[in-house]
A = this chain, B = another copy of it.
């Protein structure tokens, strides 16, 4: 099968993945003399930074996702196929997908990252990851189902929440569960003793929000403690059997709610030789995001590790890196096609931020650091503006205003019950 629109004789660029990087790349190729085919297993772009709000009933799933076809409406050199890539055959310049084989002149892997359970089948089976919308919805259902169950039979494992991993996701998730507890559960479950609900945040390194400033780390921890979250740093997970989580230092917690946000790894189809992989399962790329030894295959964003003297572990796996690499790669592909020299990537770090709860966020912008109410407004503004689509911005804004004034999280519905036993690869993540 040839790529759609292949009657025109422009070079064919296949982009795998409609995340932050893939979208920027395809947008910048608008009206250029190339044919673009994007493949994604979802028909929508996911705004991952707000997944935790979907998981905790603050937002509808639909307001943080955006149809990929709509983003590229009217871009005549763009096609989309809703498909999963099975393997790459670099020797033939083709990829095999669930909807057939496609030829490319240039292939860009913008496939992002998946949850890293560091090889533990046990953790993979019993803990809840949160990298996709279906996963966030499963998490929401599980939390609510466990609360309903706690009313039928008193069982402390149902009311203890353990969040593993103190990065932005873990901090935001444990903060959101604390708000759910204090503002919603209290009213929704008058029969439960709200003091029986405990929230633990487990982090292996000495501080939460590892890559941020010491000031941000300290404030985030303080905010979490104020909100009733038990923060355990320098503590690692030894095992979890679905009911008891064993931690280093002889700590054991009874819990049926263990949320896993302790690590990610690069995710990509077969056909990339193992020799290109570095720490975290990312693919090593050169300064123009090209994979060594593959002249026509590139990787951008979370899945790529551009290892230089300044970035010995590659760039952080955040949206701005992916977006900047996507934009530059569009330029560079056109240069390469025109036999010009591509320009090396330079990351412009705009800063980082995390929110812990209502009126509580931390922001680092270069040497400028601030925390609290103003940081929270900045966080909201930046995230609102980054959402794709006016409708989404509006709906999220309405929801946030509503939550702000009512202390409510409106969407606490068990729309698809979560059932670990009946879950297959298919129903779990896709």
Contacts and interface: CB of A to CB of B under 8 A. Distances in A.
Interface of A: 4-5, 42-44, 60-63, 65, 67, 69-70, 73-74, 76, 79, 81-82, 99-100, 133-134, 137, 144-145, 148, 151-152, 187-191, 389-392, 394-395, 398-399, 402, 406, 408, 410-417, 419, 422, 424, 426-427, 430
24 contacts: A43-B413, A61-B62, A61-B413, A70-B412, A73-B187, A73-B188, A74-B187, A81-B151, A82-B145, A82-B148, A134-B415, A134-B416, A389-B410, A390-B402, A391-B410, A394-B398, A395-B395, A395-B399, A398-B398, A416-B416, A416-B427, A417-B426, A422-B424, A422-B426
Contacts of A144: 43
B415 A69 contact: no
Contacts of A76: 190
How many copies of the shown chain assemble into the complex? 2
A395 B100 CA distance: 40
Contact of A191 (B70, B79, B406): B79
8 A-B pairs with the lowest CB-CB distances in the bound complex, closest first:
A62-B411, A60-B62, A60-B60, A69-B188, A82-B148, A44-B413, A391-B410, A99-B152
A191 to B, nearest CB: 6
Contacts of A398: 391, 394-395, 398
A43 B391 contact: no
A406 B389 CA distance: 12
